Amino acid sequence: MKKIVFVGAGNVANSLAQAVAKLPDMQIVQVYSRSIEAAQLLASKIDCGICYVNSFADINPDADIYFFAIKDDVLPKVIRKVQTNSEALHLHTAGSHGLDIFGTDKPHCGVLYPFQTFTKTRTLDFNDIPLFVEAKSNEDKESIMQIAKMLSMQVFEFNAENRKYLHLAGVYANNFANAMFIEAQNILKHTDLPSSVLLPLIREMVNKLSVMPALQAQTGPAARHDTHIIERQVQLIDSDLQKQIYQLISDQIIQWTSQPT
Amino acid sequence: MKKIVFVGAGNVANSLAQAVAKLPDMQIVQVYSRSIEAAQLLASKIDCGICYVNSFADINPDADIYFFAIKDDVLPKVIRKVQTNSEALHLHTAGSHGLDIFGTDKPHCGVLYPFQTFTKTRTLDFNDIPLFVEAKSNEDKESIMQIAKMLSMQVFEFNAENRKYLHLAGVYANNFANAMFIEAQNILKHTDLPSSVLLPLIREMVNKLSVMPALQAQTGPAARHDTHIIERQVQLIDSDLQKQIYQLISDQIIQWTSQPT
């Protein structure tokens, strides 16, 4: 039975710890969070009772695996402060950090990056989440791959090139697409329509993504090169920033749909 | 039994005709398309056998309802050319046109606009599609509302204000969000990863839309005001146009997430 310590009790830690807790031969023996309430709540979800702490000094130094699932900006500092043992395997879950943030006191280390957007209130099936794995040594990579493959059907090896571009693709596919939904919901405030009228359209757009490239699915005024409607719509927009965004994305769509594919 | 003629056999006509064919007291007696093959194919799908034509002169002038489900840019011209009877109800399905494109020879007229993206190869459940209804007279509106409510659970009355903004919201929610997916898929070409790795992330983003406003669901470097990562990512992008789009959308997200909600 491997003894596991979870450092972090936020969105990622909540989903991941619940998935890890179900694996055979794994026992989460401790949850750390800066917030004792968050640590306690997560501990209760994974049936590890009173095993929660909120002080670095109280972290169990004798575990086999340490998961660091905390925000990217505080991750390097926290990893430095947590005392473990040099035999243990250390993993972080951040897409934006590599292996260099693990010091010489943590020679066995790696990354297990779940490519997903997490919310504490939503329980996701880890099986469907693409996991990206990186490690310093082949031996450690094998151990991490073994864990990853028990957690998910989609496990990939990470490298520096993948890391950069995967991150950027995620920003477009998730953060920027969501920003388009924010603006669509803002626009609907001009009417008395509920924002739920957008959902069937959005769901069908996403369904199409599984059966054809996004470029092939592109429709709308810009894809039809209908500059008349484009001009009329730009005039409807209140803010200068959004006018520019509307115009540039339309220019890009016109460019994409003019090229032979 | 109402006799119905469908003018058009494209993406919208295909979905709509199949839904209308299932309604009680409605019989599609003819399908017109410029392309005789398209007309024949749709006729065969709705069990109306040899009732397809490809000449305006052959369109049955004695029907009760005419559906004009064709591309926005040719719609006014086609409506003018089709001879019907002045008692019939005339409907078009375009979001970008009003009632003014129906001439005095077609006094009973209205719009039945399905707010959805249609593909011939995909059969959609009309029940879930928001339908927007507009008509010149109250009497005609009642008739159209009755048909619309048999087709869908989500029926709304349209007006000029709704029309403009609904259209613009659809461009953001569908066309522009899809453009973000095109760029995400382009970026992934720098790696050997399949574009399917994006799907779980995209699906979960959309699932969140049903339970919280998009603004509340916004995450990523710009939402965290992480200018360091934003700069690093802009440098990764090849084209100047995409660099601008990345920067402007990030500026907008920073602005949105700085305001008290």
Q: What is the pLDDT of residue B125?
A: 87
Instruction: Say whether both A252 and A182 belong to one domain.
Output: yes
Q: What is the pLDDT of residue A260?
A: 62
Question: Does the pLDDT of residue B260 top 70, yes or no?
Answer: no
CB atoms within 10 A of CB B24: 6
Instruction: Say whether both A252 and A231 belong to one domain.
Output: yes
Instruction: Say whether both B113 and B133 belong to one domain.
Output: yes
**For the residues B163-178, what does the mean pLDDT come to?**
96
Q: Do B248 and A253 touch (CB under 8 A)?
A: no
Q: What is the pLDDT of residue A82?
A: 97
Question: Among A158, A174, A192, which residue terminates a domain?
Answer: A158
**For the residues B229-250, what does the mean pLDDT come to?**
96
pLDDT class for B26, splitting at 50, 70, 90? Answer: very high
Instruction: Say whether both B148 and B173 belong to one domain.
Output: no
CATH number of the CATH domain containing A102: 3.40.50.720
Which residue numbers in chain A have pLDDT < 70?
260-261
Instruction: Say whether both B151 and B165 belong to one domain.
Output: no
Provide the domain limits for residue B95.
2-158
Instruction: Say whether both A90 and A42 belong to one domain.
Output: yes
Instruction: Say whether both B63 and B174 belong to one domain.
Output: no
Instruction: Say whether both A180 and A62 belong to one domain.
Output: no
Instruction: Say whether both A188 and A118 belong to one domain.
Output: no
Q: Do B185 and A222 touch (CB under 8 A)?
A: no
pLDDT class for B50, splitting at 50, 70, 90? Answer: confident
Query: Which residue in B92, B189, B190 sits closest to B144, CA to CA?
Result: B92
Q: What is the pLDDT of residue B79?
A: 98
Is residue B200 less than 8 Å (CB to CB) from chain A?
yes
Question: Among B130, B158, B186, which residue terminates a domain?
Answer: B158
The number of folded domains in chain A is 2
Q: What is the pLDDT of residue B206?
A: 97
Question: Among A129, A158, A187, which residue terminates a domain?
Answer: A158
Q: pLDDT over 70 for what percent of chain B?
A: 99
Quote the ipTM score.
0.90
Place of tokens 């019989």: B27
CATH number of the CATH domain containing A186: 1.10.1040.20
Closest-CA residue in chain A for B117?
A201
Instruction: Say whether both A14 and A89 belong to one domain.
Output: yes
Instruction: Say whether both A63 and A110 belong to one domain.
Output: yes
Instruction: Say whether both B154 and B246 belong to one domain.
Output: no
Does residue A89 sit in helix, strand or coil?
Answer: strand
Q: Do B184 and A172 touch (CB under 8 A)?
A: yes
CB atoms within 10 A of CB B85: 14
Closest-CA residue in chain B for A156?
B193
Is residue A242 less than 8 Å (CB to CB) from chain B?
yes
Closest-CA residue in chain B for A243?
B248
Question: Best residue in B121, B122, B183 to probe A by mutation, most A CBs within 10 Å?
Answer: B183
Whole-model pTM? 0.90
Q: Do A237 and B168 touch (CB under 8 A)?
A: yes
